[in-house]
Chain A
Amino acid sequence: MPFRASAAFTVIAALISTLLALSGCSNESEPVQNKIVVLTFNMPHYKDGFSRWVAEFHKLHPDIEVEQIDRKGSNWGAFYHTQVISGTAPDIIDTQGGAWLQYASQGGLLDLTPFLEKDAEFTANFYPELLQSWIYEGQNYGIPLYFTKTLLFYNKLMFQEAGITSPPNSFDQLMEYAYKMTKGEKSGFMTLNFDWLYWSLFAMNGIDLVTPDLRHAAFNTPKAIALIERLAKATKDGAISNISWTGRWVEPNSMFAAGQIGMLQAHSTALLWMLSNTSWINENTIGFAQMPGNWSTPNAHALHISADSKYPQAAWDFIKIATSGEGAYSLGISLNNLTGDRFVNEKILDYFSQTKPIVVPLLRTQQEHLNTLVGNWPLANDAEIKEALYPELQSALLNHKSAADALSRAEKKVNHILSRDDRTAQSQSSVSGGQ
């Protein structure tokens, strides 16, 4: 019948032309052969510094071009995953926190252990404990670019008003001080909650996330229930601000900056933000201390090499430039952060002692107690576990659910995730290795 024929014809023509287009008569210029792509995480203001890295790099590899792509945190995942799927993963990626685990566990990242062993002199620059943060199943996948970890900021004025003379040295004291400083709109204590930053509170109460073999949830204990009930009550009483559990970055820091919080657990970047937004913050009004027990959660950035990078050696050379020596120094002073390189850090502290002295005691806390880092378990499904656990905790802490109920549900979910082997099984069957 004529209708069917013409309709069919048009549809087939459409499909053929689409297929032709899809079958790769693409005139897109193939990626320039000698190029490495570096995907950075939220450093748009470091363009000059990056060019200096590239200049250094070209001394070693004058024929390899460097392309930088910078993406904001919330967009980084979308961009990176799309690149991976389309087969054009960036040679070097800059990740934050534990995101690298899911990539490493699936074989997406290059094992850097051989490189570290070969370049022993370079490796010796780093704090050994920090370097361990990027070990998964015995292999090292990342080199620290810059790092921060949590500490306790405290408002000295509020301390004085409440008659407190020094920062708390135990969890009970922390709670006691929190209650003492709570008055009206002001709360005694607040913490950031993303990326496991709150976990020091659990660690100082002897609660672990998982069993040592990383196979089962270990946080559903009577101690944990008691802790959460205590924290929930304090939240209800206003001693702990409820923004601790619902805020992300801006709200908690701005409340502290507005003088409404007695003690804030945050990582060191918070100070820079607060300094630029207030005028009253200085050495006399704000103090820094480790959390009781010296527990802290790191929030670090690291550089990794893609498993299928065509220029792993060149990428490694670039990483060395960015993470140690002069390259790291210029990054550190630009971001007001410490790097992974011990010697560079001393130089950075020297620099700040002359230009911004208030930062020095802050940064010193970042260097100390790297052996009591928590919140950095090498779990392949770290991100999923976080997503499974935190909302339950949040519900309990906001008194929306009982602690026992929340923990038992979270335990079930986490165990389910840990036992699910649909992807880790795949990673074991892959051959990951350099070229």
Chain B
Amino acid sequence: MRRHSLWATHLLLSTTCLVMLVPFYWLLKTSLTGENLFSYPPALLPDNPHIFYYVDAWYSIPFVRYLLNSVVVSAIVIVANIIFNAMAGYALTMDFKGKRVVILLLLSCMMVPYQATVVPAYLLTKELGLLNSHLGMALPLMSTIVCIFMFKASFAAVPRSLIDSARIDGVPEWQIIFRIMLPLSQSAIATNVVLAFTWSWNSFLWPLIILRDDNMQTLPLGLANFLSVVEDTSGALYAFCIMVLIPGLVIFLLAQKQFIQGLTTGATKG
């Protein structure tokens, strides 16, 4: 790689990182000091940082229980997503009558405004007997169209020769999906995990509507209730934001290596 192109790359990326980071820095700083919410000019360095807001949040709500609720729901969502989306993505790599319709149907499902679906979704979930439950919270999120298409693209990139030879050897289709295609689509799986986790972890409106029990609350909900009296104005809100954010980042970090091209696929993708 030529030197000045390397330089330019680093410069561009660093600038972008800076722009992306400024809000985070401020989020973190305010969560540690609670300053500058009402005063001016903004101080660049934190003055007297303390973790009081975090401690407050931890003790003011049944933090661990809410955390567990969120974890359970997200786990269900992630597993269901990978299985369902991979299946659907694979189906879409094949040619069949009505494929165009299915694709348009899937795309049009994305166009439905989410907030307009919560009431009928509530009624449906009630009929299914899943109100106030982890499964009920997870169900609407168990498949996502974005990920279906990503699996479709990843599977489509698997060399035909591999599939054909497997078919000739009489390998059943489902084994082709799970033994050949998925392992070669690490990146799509990783993305699926990250996206499914984020969308279920941050889900707010749906749990709000279907949960009644205090001990079923998910983390964002539980923390939001804790903050309601202070009208979202103190450093506690910022601490809340950071606390809800961290697991998502951790998941992404763990999924990082799947985005490195060539490591797993170079040898097998012709």
Asked if B224 is at the interface of the complex by the 8 Å CB criterion, the answer is: yes
Q: Closest B-chain residue to A251, C-beta based?
A: B38
Interface string of A38-78 (1 = CB under 8 A from B): 00001111000000000000000000000101111101001
- Determine how close the nearest CB of chain B comes to the CB of A40; give it in whole angstroms: 11
Rounded to whole angstroms, the CA-CA distance of A3 and B99 in the bound complex is 12
Per a CB cutoff under 8 Å, which of A28, A42, A78 touches B130?
A: A28
Q: Which of A392-422 contact B (CB under 8 A)?
A: none
B169 within 8 A of A: no
Q: B111 to chain A: closest CB distance in Å?
A: 21
CB distance from B217 to the nearest CB of A (A): 11
Interface residues in B, total, Cβ within 8 A: 29
Report the Cα distance A352→B95, complex, angstroms.
Answer: 77
Roughly how many angstroms separate A43 CA and B229 CA in the complex, as a whole number? 7
A319 part of interface (Cβ distance < 8 Å): no
B267 in the interface, Cβ–Cβ < 8 Å? no
Given A28-B130, A28-B131, also A78-B38 (CB < 8 A):
no
* From B97, B118, B209, B226, residue with most partner A Cβ within 10 Å: B209
A82: contacting residue among B118, B129, B231, B232, CB under 8 A: B118
Given contacts A67-B212, A79-B209, contact A42 B229 (CB under 8 A): yes
In contact, A28 and B96 (Cβ under 8 angstroms): no
The answer to whether B37 touches A72 (Cβ under 8 A) is no
Q: Decide if B228 touches A22 in the complex (CB within 8 Å).
A: no
Asked whether any CB of chain A lies closer than 8 Å to the CB of B225, the reply is: yes
Contact of B38 among A23, A81, A257 (CB under 8 A): A257
Determine the chain B residues whose CB is within 8 A of the CB of A7 once the complex forms.
Answer: 97-98
Once the chains bind, are A44 and B228 in contact (CB under 8 Å)?
yes
Q: Inside 8 A of A250's CB, which chain B residues have their CB?
A: 231-233
Chain A proximity mask over B125-168: 1 for CB below 8 Å, otherwise 0: 01111110000000000000000000000000000000000000
Asked whether A26 is an interface residue with its Cβ less than 8 Å from the other chain, the reply is: yes
Closest Cβ neighbor of B126 among chain A residues: A86
Structural contact, B212 and A3, CB atoms closer than 8 A: no
B212–A69 CB distance below 8 A:
yes
Determine whether the beta carbon of A70 is less than 8 Å from that of B209. no
Query: In the complex the two chains form, what is the Cα distance from A28 to B132 in whole Å?
Result: 9
Closest to A47 in B: B214
Given known A28-B130, A86-B122, contact A45–B229 (CB-CB < 8 A):
yes
**Contacts of A5-48 to chain B: CB distance below 8 A:** 7, 21-28, 42-45
Q: B207-246 CB contact bits vs A (8 Å, 1 = yes)?
A: 0110010000000000011101101110000000000000
The answer on a CB contact under 8 Å between A85 and B123 is yes
**Is B124 in contact with chain A by the CB < 8 A criterion?**
yes
Partner of B127, one of A22, A72, A255: A22
List chain B residues, Cβ under 8 A from A67: 212
Output the least CB separation between B202 and chain A (Å).
Answer: 15
List B contacts of A45 (CB < 8 A): 229
Q: Are A249 and B127 in contact (CB under 8 A)?
A: no
Task: Determine if A160 is an interface residue (Cβ-Cβ < 8 Å).
Answer: no
Beyond known contacts A25-B129, A85-B119, A258-B39: 15 more, CB 8 A cutoff = A22-B128, A27-B129, A28-B131, A44-B228, A67-B212, A71-B208, A73-B228, A78-B209, A79-B209, A81-B119, A85-B122, A86-B123, A250-B232, A255-B38, A258-B38
Task: Return 13 A-B CB contacts under 8 Å, by A number.
Answer: A21-B128, A22-B128, A26-B129, A28-B126, A42-B229, A43-B229, A44-B228, A72-B224, A78-B118, A78-B205, A250-B231, A250-B233, A254-B38
Interface residues of A (CB under 8 A from B): 3, 7, 21-28, 42-45, 67, 69-73, 75, 78-79, 81-82, 85-86, 249-250, 254-255, 257-258, 273, 277
